[in-house]
Structure 1
Amino acid sequence: MWSELLRVSNYGIRLINGSIVAVHGLGSNPDWAWTHDSGVMWLRDLLPNSLPNARIMAFNHNSKWDRDSSVKSIEHCGKELLDNLNLVRKGFEDRPIIFIGHSFGGIIIKKALVIAGRKHIKDRRYKSFENVICGIIFLGVPHDGSRLTTMGKLLSHGTYWLGSSTEILESLKPGAKELRELNNSFLEGYRDENKIVSFWETKMTKIWNIPLLQAVDEGSATIPGETGIPLDVDHVGMNKFESEQDNDYKLVKVELDRMVERVLEGF
């Protein structure tokens, strides 16, 4: 499966103030990753109502791990995101970007920005991203790993004949060295507290319809020195909102509005 950026909203084609780029997590896809059980896809159905000048896009990437999975690293995922952004930003390289990442999607965003900040000659094609990031919203991102990886690895061993892979899962286990190093590198360039907001789940995630564990706890979902914002959902519900009256949506929207103000002010 290839990766690509899908335009979620047709708003902003003529009056573009900035781009909002959403990146989903593992075992998901843009068709339903951001869609509530009611059928509301908030990136398409809610956001454009209040952000008519923004171009809203969702990054479509192969996040399967239990079957038909791609053998790739976090590094590969980060470069995929940057390469796809380069394609859609030709001629608009100075357009500001707000990222929204759910779960592993946030890890991809962090890796992409670390790569963009490198000085190595082979990464110069990503240099245009250094000064255009005006906000990042993390929704249940396992900065320090997730306990769900243990269950995932057990399941993937049972579906190896379908093409499962544990490579990404291994890198997301609690306390993983790769995550710790990524966090340190990321914070060297993006420690501005006004640009980053992390949300964490307060409910247990259901496995086989049984609430078993908090997939990403507050400690892992927030970066050092940051006070995260709790949402009254489990890990699966972190990136799904039913309406503009949804209290969790309001909490996220307030932070998005603040980031949009930075765009209007020239951040």
Structure 2
Amino acid sequence: MSRYGLMQVHDGENAKVDVVFLHGLRGDREETWTQDGVLWPKDLLPQDIPESRIFLFGYDTGITHRDQSSVTKTEIHSDAEDLCAKLAAERSNTNTVRDPEFQASSTYYMLLLAADCREQEDRPIIFIAHSLGGLVAAQIVVHGEQRTEDSRTKSITKNLRGMIFLGTPFQGSSAAKPAEIARRILKFFGIDTQEHTLKLLGVDSERLDELTKAFPNVLNKRRTSKDPKDRIEAFFFYETLKTGWGRGSIQVVEADSAQLPGCGEAAPIRADHVKICKFKTVKDEGYSVVVAAIRKVMLPPDAFSSQVRNNPPPGLLQPAPQGLYRIVDTVFLF
């Protein structure tokens, strides 16, 4: 069975949101999110977010040998395009988004007339990304800003409502820039870390600097949009524990590198870089704050004013210890 592409693990009755998981460099579509046999997007999340459709996205970041000649020739921007194409096709096939490329045809209109379903649902999308997978998600947002309305990339980005990042390196810190963190991850797996390797993977300094400068501007434009349905909520979670490495340990992504001040909410998760995205039970601290973030994104954009949305009334939401919001009631507000 292929480890690449979209894998649907849950499709709730009357689903109102598509949640898409993206692994990072040297990650795996299922293993990245699995701890002691628990694949939490499949085994835990549907219990708390039943009215959702959940996908795992896998892309080829494999490096089968330690020499740079065997590095997979893939880049962040091509992985972003691949995800958009596959997700747009799935949403079009299941009638959960208007397909801009097909919608212009007379055949499309006749089919809608025959089915008596002229109004298709543009279902909101939430990305949950680990490590460098967050840069793939960021690339999608930047690409979407540059694309025309009739592109499939645009059809994904215009319906994107939430982005949850788990240990994604966005900016340079006292310790390292994103490209240096990519080197750390490769070195962690015993892989060649020369600049040629990073360029083949699309994580060299030049391209990452360009992406991490463009993304905050586009994200803030969406976050502050006057149209509530155009806004994106962003959450940045960072590791607090060092990751074991040989006989020692290392802080793979520093806290200040995993945040974009002014671009969304940030909070720690007591885990290392590998386990920040793995949860065994619903009682895990990390799981609780991620679910709280998903639920906040799922609040209807036109249900409250932005002031009430950001400062919920008592009894609806209560502050979590990390500064996020935790839903008290289990009733969804749609």
Normalising TM by the smaller chain, what interval?
0.7 to 0.9
- Separation in structure 2 between the aligned mates of residue 189 and residue 8 of structure 1, nearest angstrom: 32
Confirm or deny: 8 A CA contact 1:65 1:165 kept in the other structure: no
**1:248 pairs with one of 274, 282, 286:** 286
209 and 236 in structure 1: CA distance in 2 versus 1, 3 angstrom threshold: farther
Q: How far 1:117 sits from its partner (Å)?
A: 2.1
Q: Which has the higher contact order (CA 8 A, sep 6+)?
A: 1
49 and 152 in structure 1: CA distance in 2 versus 1, 3 angstrom threshold: closer
- Separation in structure 2 between the aligned mates of residue 128 and residue 174 of structure 1, nearest angstrom: 28
35 and 169 in structure 1: CA distance in 2 versus 1, 3 angstrom threshold: same
Query: For residue 54 of structure 1, what is the aligned residue in structure 2?
Result: 52
Query: For residue 25 of structure 1, what is the aligned residue in structure 2?
Result: 24
184 and 72 in structure 1: CA distance in 2 versus 1, 3 angstrom threshold: same
- Separation in structure 1 between the aligned mates of residue 44 and residue 214 of structure 2, nearest angstrom: 33
- Separation in structure 1 between the aligned mates of residue 241 and residue 294 of structure 2, nearest angstrom: 23
Confirm or deny: 8 A CA contact 1:25 1:105 kept in the other structure: yes
C-alpha offsets along residues 206-255 of structure 1, whole Å, 9 cap, x if unaligned? 112531x2111111101132451001001001110110111221121111
- Separation in structure 2 between the aligned mates of residue 127 and residue 176 of structure 1, nearest angstrom: 22
TM-score if structure 2 supplies the norm length?
A: 0.68
Query: For residue 236 of structure 1, what is the aligned residue in structure 2?
Result: 274
TM-score if structure 1 supplies the norm length?
A: 0.84
Confirm or deny: 8 A CA contact 1:5 1:58 kept in the other structure: yes
Q: Of the two, which has the highest radius of gyration?
A: 2
Query: For residue 136 of structure 2, what is the aligned residue in structure 1?
Result: 108
Determine helix, strand or coil for the equivalent of 1:98.
Answer: strand
Confirm or deny: 8 A CA contact 1:99 1:135 kept in the other structure: yes
C-alpha offsets along residues 112-154 of structure 1, whole Å, 9 cap, x if unaligned? 1211221458x82322224311111111011121644334555
Query: For residue 227 of structure 2, what is the aligned residue in structure 1?
Result: none
Query: For residue 222 of structure 1, what is the aligned residue in structure 2?
Result: 259
C-alpha offsets along residues 158-177 of structure 1, whole Å, 9 cap, x if unaligned? 99xxxx94326672659952
Instruction: Give the aligned CA root-mean-square deviation in angstroms.
Output: 3.0
In structure 2, stretches of 5+ residues that fail to align are 98-121, 172-177, 225-230, 304-332
In structure 1, stretches of 5+ residues that fail to align are none
1:191-206 residue pairs with structure 2 within 5 A? 191-192=223-224, 195-206=233-244
Query: For residue 210 of structure 2, what is the aligned residue in structure 1?
Result: 178
Query: For residue 111 of structure 2, what is the aligned residue in structure 1?
Result: none
1:5-44 residue pairs with structure 2 within 5 A? 5-9=6-10, 11-12=11-12, 14-36=13-35, 38-44=36-42
- Separation in structure 2 between the aligned mates of residue 4 and residue 170 of structure 1, nearest angstrom: 19
1:51-200 residue pairs with structure 2 within 5 A? 51-65=49-63, 67=65, 69-90=71-92, 91-93=95-97, 94-119=122-147, 124-144=151-171, 145=178, 147-152=180-185, 155-157=190-192, 165-167=197-199, 171=203, 176-187=208-219, 189-192=221-224, 195-200=233-238
Confirm or deny: 8 A CA contact 2:164 2:234 kept in the other structure: yes
Confirm or deny: 8 A CA contact 2:24 2:130 kept in the other structure: yes
C-alpha offsets along residues 10-67 of structure 1, whole Å, 9 cap, x if unaligned? x32x42211100101011112211001x211110111101111200001011122454
Q: How far 1:89 sits from its partner (Å)?
A: 0.7
Confirm or deny: 8 A CA contact 1:114 1:186 kept in the other structure: yes
Confirm or deny: 8 A CA contact 1:147 1:216 kept in the other structure: no
State the aligned residue count: 258
Identity %: 28
Confirm or deny: 8 A CA contact 2:61 2:74 kept in the other structure: no
Q: How far 1:86 sits from its partner (Å)?
A: 1.3
247 and 44 in structure 1: CA distance in 2 versus 1, 3 angstrom threshold: same
Query: For residue 245 of structure 2, what is the aligned residue in structure 1?
Result: 207
* Paired amino acid for 2:7: L
236 and 263 in structure 1: CA distance in 2 versus 1, 3 angstrom threshold: farther
- Separation in structure 2 between the aligned mates of residue 175 and residue 86 of structure 1, nearest angstrom: 26
